């Protein structure tokens, strides 16, 4: 992360907003969590904006296999906060209010 002044924003690029998320999780060692996210709905990205997933036929075959196997176990998880680590060709900018 780098900080620049608003006057240093390259011409033709827009800055998005920052969303500050504060949460409290009683069951954790450090229950206080703060994270910053950039407003992705206002970012201009020329590449594909998706994360590939399995087709419905693949999921059905997997579930059929689990159901038809005696003493099989199945586990599923939902990744709510997923970061693909995709390199970006240029910097993106956001405003942090003072």
83: confidence class by pLDDT, cuts 50, 70, 90: low
Q: Is the pLDDT of residue 84 over 80?
A: no
Angle at CA 81, nearest 5°, toward 52 and 20? 135
35, 31, 48, 43: which is closest to 81 by C-alpha?
35
In angstroms, rounded to a whole number, what is the distance separating the alpha carbons of residues 22 and 16?
20
Place of tokens 């075959």: 61
Average pLDDT, the chain: 82
d(CA 9, CA 15): 8
0.85 exceeded by pTM: no
Q: How big is the chain, counted in residues?
A: 98
Q: Which of 45, 32, 39 is nearest to 15 (CA)?
A: 39
- 70 against 77, higher pLDDT: 70
In this structure, are residues 19 and 37 in contact, taking their beta carbons and an 8 Å threshold?
yes
Confidence band for 24, pLDDT divided at 50, 70 and 90: very high
């Amino acid at each position: 992360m780098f900080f620049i002044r608003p006057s240093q924003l390259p011409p033709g690029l827009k800055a998005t907003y920052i969303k500050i998320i504060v949460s409290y999780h009683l069951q954790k060692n450090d229950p206080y969590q703060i994270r910053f996210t950039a407003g992705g709905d206002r970012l201009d990205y020329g590449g594909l904006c998706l994360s590939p997933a399995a087709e419905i036929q693949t999921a059905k075959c997997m579930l059929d296999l689990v159901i038809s196997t005696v003493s099989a176990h199945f586990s599923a998880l939902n990744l709510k906060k997923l970061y693909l680590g995709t390199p970006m060709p240029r910097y993106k900018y956001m405003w942090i209010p003072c």
